[in-house]
Amino acid sequence: DTAVSQTPKYLVTQMGNDKSIKCEQNLGHDTMYWYKQDSKKFLKIMFSYNNKELIINETVPNRFSPKSPDKAHLNLHINSLELGDSAVYFCASSAYPGGGEQYFGPGTRLTVT
Amino acid sequence: QQQVKQSPQSLIVQKGGISIINCAYENTAFDYFPWYQQFPGKGPALLIAIRPDVSEKKEGRFTISFNKSAKQFSLHIMDSQPGDSATYFCAARSSGRRETSGSRLTFGEGTQLTVNP
């Protein structure tokens, strides 16, 4: 059983389109995260939810909107995609906010053309 | 601003050698220092972690050395193997009650390790 799963694994789309990435964790964790990994492999936190409540919202364009329907799921919707949005997006979860042991999903490679 | 600085950016080691990756931080509020390992096409995975009240932690071939006064910590991989080739990230967690929103991991820039056979 995959602990943290993401769909899709690859996403290729054109500028201006809207796309969503879905994440699910079966670890029973309370906290979930979205990270962006750029071409230089730098990992930067974007959002975090704890029990469906948004607790971290980094300086991210408001074209990015996360949504957590329940504590096992965290989705990321991106409007009006731009070239600079191309990156690998990782979902992660931890038992509690800031839990050092975070479990990462396999990532979604987003390419905007 | 980068709160956790990691070096080197890339490292090439021969099989059986020792790989050493260094990290430095500024925020004295950090209370937990994990290292993550990422293979190509995969998500990062926790490798080993240390708290600031301990100067060293060893798990198999992997050792973290922690110098609180210098605000530095390092990962040592003994007897490096080709299977260790991956990107390694140090990280630091800002302290706080577990229920608070501010607690998060800040990652270093990553080190691409290549172990030649």
Report if residue B2 sits inside a domain.
no
Average pLDDT over residues B23-32: 91
B45: left (phi over 0), alpha (psi -120 to 50) or beta: beta
Tally Cβ neighbours within 10 Å of residue A5. 15
Average pLDDT over residues A29-42: 94
- d(C-alpha B45, C-alpha B79), whole Å: 21
Domains held by chain B: number? 1
Looking up residue B35, the CATH number of its domain turns out to be: 2.60.40.10
- Domain positions in chain A: 4-112
A2 pLDDT tier (thresholds 50, 70, 90): confident
Tally Cβ neighbours within 10 Å of residue A107. 22
Torsion angles phi and psi, residue B53, rounded to 5: -90, 5
Tokens of B52: 């600031």
Q: Which is higher by pLDDT, A57 or A81?
A: A81
- In the stretch 34-93 of chain A, residues with CB closer than 8 A to chain B read 40-45, 48, 50, 55-56, 90, 92
Q: Tell me: the pLDDT tens digits for A44-65?
A: 999 999 988 888 888 789 999 9
Mutate to test the interface with B, among A24, A40, A43 (most CBs of B within 10 A): A43
Residue of B nearest to A5 (CA): B43
- Cβ within 8 Å, pair A43-B45: no
Q: In this complex, which of A45, A90, A104 lies closest to B104 when CB atoms are compared?
A: A45
Q: Is A21:A36 a contact under the CB 8 Å cutoff?
A: no
- d(C-alpha A70, C-alpha A30), whole Å: 10
Please enumerate in sequence order all residues whose Cβ is within 8 A of that of A74, keeping only pairs 6 or more positions apart, or say none: A23, A32, A33, A34, A47, A49, A66, A67, A68, A91
Average pLDDT over residues A78-101: 92
Tokens of B62: 């992997």
Shortest Cα–Cα distance, A18 to chain B (Å): 24
**Domain A4-112 belongs in CATH node 2.60.120.380:** no
Residues spanned by the domain of B68:
12-102
Average pLDDT over residues B1-28: 93
